A and B are shown apart, each in its own frame.
Chain A
Amino acid sequence: MKYLYFIFKNLTRKKVRTSLTILSIMVAFLLFGLLRSLSAAFDGGAEIAGEDRLVTIHKVSIIQPLPQSYLAKVQALPGVEKATMANWFGGYYQEQKNQFAQFPVLADDYFDIYKDLIKLPPAQLENWKKNRVGAVIGRALVDKYHWKIGDRIPLIGMFPQKNGSTTWEFVIEGVFDAKTEGADTSGMLFHYDYFDKSRQFGEGTVGWLIIKVKDPKQSAQVAAVVDALFENSFAETKTNSEKDFAKSFAKQFGDIGLITTLILGAVFFTMLLVAGNTMAQSFRERIPEFAILKTLGFSDITVMLMVLCESIVVCVFGGVLGLLLAKIIITGAAVDFAATLPGLGMSWKIMTSGLLLVILLGLITGAAPAIQGLRLNIIGALRRN
């Protein structure tokens, strides 16, 4: 502790250089925080996806519908505890920028299948079941649009109604909340029956089936049985675990994880060169001073640790600033992107990995000058003075 003052004073020796180094490290860790949070948001669905749920889609693509009749056949299969279905609606509220997820579902089953992730008060569920145009919304939507139970919400959907209108009206009958951290509450659920009977085309079809298996260990076998059941039919299926489904859905936007890793890899490689060179230069300029410290009785190890500490302090200062700034930005953005990118947030896991990376960067960039400090020969160094 008693050396900290000296270490701090050494860092203020060339204020501009130290500030620029801290700034560059700060930018690197700002990027780290932003990109990792973004990547985590894309992968978020997969993270919390249930091990005991399967998703069945059309073998060609998720945008190809499946016959609604498949549901009953799947429900009858051994190993299936329960099955339900959902469809994409793709509507927006008032303006196109106000997009969020809406799914026509079966009210009787949906909350039962997802009871580990979301919860709806039983009274609200009952009210919803009674109202054909009723809908339930997630807490994030309440926060964003300040809707409340009883509100009549018009949405403009991509499915035209039989009367030609693309405006669909819903009455909010309930608000569901997350039961697990990261569970998505930015969507709206409404009755499949209302949707199916009102739409102009595609009646009797569904987007995907959701299957809850009796034994998660049998998931792969159940998936194979489902796909075998519809093999050689006009709508062959592809059944995956919900986790794989979420992953492949996220990959529609590209492999965000790989992209962010590549960008961050390039950033940190550059940062290693920049910060490492700065630390080495800073050490070279002070070789006679380190020799004096050793002359006064500072041990080789003490000198080495002092050099290493300088490097770590610079990296920690810049890194923590960058991570905090990223946290502020992400927290702000999470509100705006609650509907389009639910789960956006900078988790403690990202923060902790960032802090570990900061220390690692400090250790690596300070390693070479610290070893030079350890090996510094007093007489040779004093001669350079």
Chain B
Amino acid sequence: MASPASVHEFASGVLVNLKHISKTYKKGKELVPVLTDINLDIKRGDFVALMGPSGSGKTTLLNLLGGLDSPSSGELIIAGQRIDQFSSGQLTKWRAQNVGFIFQFYNLMPVLTAEKNVELPLLLTNLTSKERKAHVAAALDLVGLANRAKHYPSELSGGQEQRVAIARALVSDPNLLLCDEPTGDLDRATADEILALMQELNQEQQKTIVMVTHDPRAADHARHTLHLDKGKLIQE
């Protein structure tokens, strides 16, 4: 449900708006704070790198932005919607329409060809088989893998697999791309290619990207870098 304030933020170009977001996990009888009082705006079309040491809460923040988890307190508004108030079922539908995920280890389905992997998110839409094929071809073309459509993940290099994963994230045209260490499993040259592709998507397709990384060189490709430490946003 969009509140008047969130509509205002949405209209002003803010895609992601976090207000006093905290997240705690229960470990036995103890409550462990992972994120504390996070306030953050990310504008539409921004490319944000999220850095910080292990255990600082980067992935938890990314999970909250992607609707994979819900905050313990605070308001989480994305594209004008209070997703912190969504039920699990609503979050599932919202993810399918609004978020593309890119993982460190690509997470492709090994039994499906590149094009069938990219098609997966479209199975949740009402598109016809012909329309799905057209979208898949366009996405693979965008990542430069049109000639690898019929290849299985095991027949692709790491960089190519990550390109397929990016195509899968893009194919349903989401508002937000969330990347968890997207170059963590790649050599430097391939990592640079992937980062260049992400920059291209940000600049030419106006995709809003939030990328978790340990690598300062990867963060250099972003427009902004945020640092998290012990669950708190410390500087930009």
B156 at the interface (CB under 8 A from A): no
Which of A199-207, A218-226, A285-293 is the contact stretch? A285-293
Which of B44-52, B63-71, B140-148 is the contact stretch? B63-71
Interface mask (B92-134 → A, CB under 8 Å = 1, otherwise 0):
1101110001010101011110001000110110000100000
A254 at the interface (CB under 8 A from B): no
A180 at the interface (CB under 8 A from B): no
CA distance A13 to B110 in the complex (A): 8
Of B97, B111, B120, B168, the contact of A10 (CB 8 Å cutoff) = B111
Return the chain A residue nearest B129 by Cβ: A2
Across the interface, do A2 and B88 meet the contact criterion of CB distance under 8 Å?
no
Return the chain A residue nearest B92 by Cβ: A299
Across the interface, do B121 and A289 meet the contact criterion of CB distance under 8 Å?
no
Given contacts A2-B123, A3-B123, A300-B92, contact A295 B111 (CB under 8 A): no
B28 at the interface (CB under 8 A from A): no
CA distance A296 to B120 in the complex (A): 8
Of A12, A298, A379, the contact of B124 (CB 8 Å cutoff) = A298
Cβ contacts under 8 Å, A382 to chain B: 103
Of A9, A13, A297, A379, the contact of B63 (CB 8 Å cutoff) = A379
A385 at the interface (CB under 8 A from B): yes
A6 at the interface (CB under 8 A from B): yes
Cβ contacts under 8 Å, B116 to chain A: 5-6, 9
Return the chain B residue nearest A301 by Cβ: B89
Across the interface, do A297 and B107 meet the contact criterion of CB distance under 8 Å?
no
Min distance, Cβ A310 to any Cβ of chain B, angstroms: 12
Of A13, A288, A293, A300, the contact of B88 (CB 8 Å cutoff) = A300
How many chain-B residues does the 8 Å CB contact rule pick out? Answer: 26
CA distance A12 to B168 in the complex (A): 23
Min distance, Cβ B143 to any Cβ of chain A, angstroms: 17
Residues facing B in A239-295 (CB within 8 A) are 288-289, 292-295
Given contacts A12-B111, A379-B68, contact A297 B92 (CB under 8 A): yes
Given contacts A288-B107, A378-B68, contact A297 B93 (CB under 8 A): yes
Across the interface, do B96 and A297 meet the contact criterion of CB distance under 8 Å?
yes
Interface mask (B197-226 → A, CB under 8 Å = 1, otherwise 0):
000000000000000000000000000000
Cβ contacts under 8 Å, A5 to chain B: 116
CA distance A297 to B66 in the complex (A): 11
Cβ contacts under 8 Å, A294 to chain B: 92
Cβ contacts under 8 Å, A296 to chain B: 95-96, 101, 120-121, 124, 168
Across the interface, do B123 and A295 meet the contact criterion of CB distance under 8 Å?
no
Min distance, Cβ A337 to any Cβ of chain B, angstroms: 46
Cβ contacts under 8 Å, A299 to chain B: 89, 92-93
Return the chain B residue nearest A5 by Cβ: B116
Across the interface, do B123 and A292 meet the contact criterion of CB distance under 8 Å?
no
CA distance A9 to B110 in the complex (A): 10
Across the interface, do B109 and A289 meet the contact criterion of CB distance under 8 Å?
yes
Across the interface, do B107 and A385 meet the contact criterion of CB distance under 8 Å?
yes
Across the interface, do A295 and B66 meet the contact criterion of CB distance under 8 Å?
yes
Return the chain A residue nearest B94 by Cβ: A297
Across the interface, do B97 and A297 meet the contact criterion of CB distance under 8 Å?
yes
Across the interface, do A379 and B107 meet the contact criterion of CB distance under 8 Å?
no
Return the chain A residue nearest B178 by Cβ: A295
Residues facing B in A370-385 (CB within 8 A) are 378-379, 382, 385
Across the interface, do A293 and B120 meet the contact criterion of CB distance under 8 Å?
yes
Interface mask (A104-137 → B, CB under 8 Å = 1, otherwise 0):
0000000000000000000000000000000000
Most buried by A among B92, B105, B121: B92
Cβ contacts under 8 Å, B103 to chain A: 292, 382, 385
Cβ contacts under 8 Å, A289 to chain B: 107, 109
Cβ contacts under 8 Å, B92 to chain A: 294, 297-300
Return the chain A residue nearest B96 by Cβ: A297
Cβ contacts under 8 Å, A2 to chain B: 123, 129
Cβ contacts under 8 Å, A3 to chain B: 123
Cβ contacts under 8 Å, B129 to chain A: 2
Inter-chain pairs besides A294-B92, A296-B121, 13 sampled, C-beta below 8 Å: A3-B123, A5-B116, A9-B112, A292-B109, A295-B66, A296-B101, A297-B121, A299-B89, A300-B92, A378-B68, A379-B63, A379-B69, A382-B103
23 contacts between A and B (CB under 8 A): A5-B116, A9-B109, A9-B116, A12-B111, A13-B111, A288-B107, A289-B107, A289-B109, A292-B103, A292-B107, A296-B95, A296-B96, A296-B101, A296-B121, A296-B168, A297-B93, A297-B121, A297-B124, A298-B124, A299-B92, A299-B93, A379-B63, A379-B69
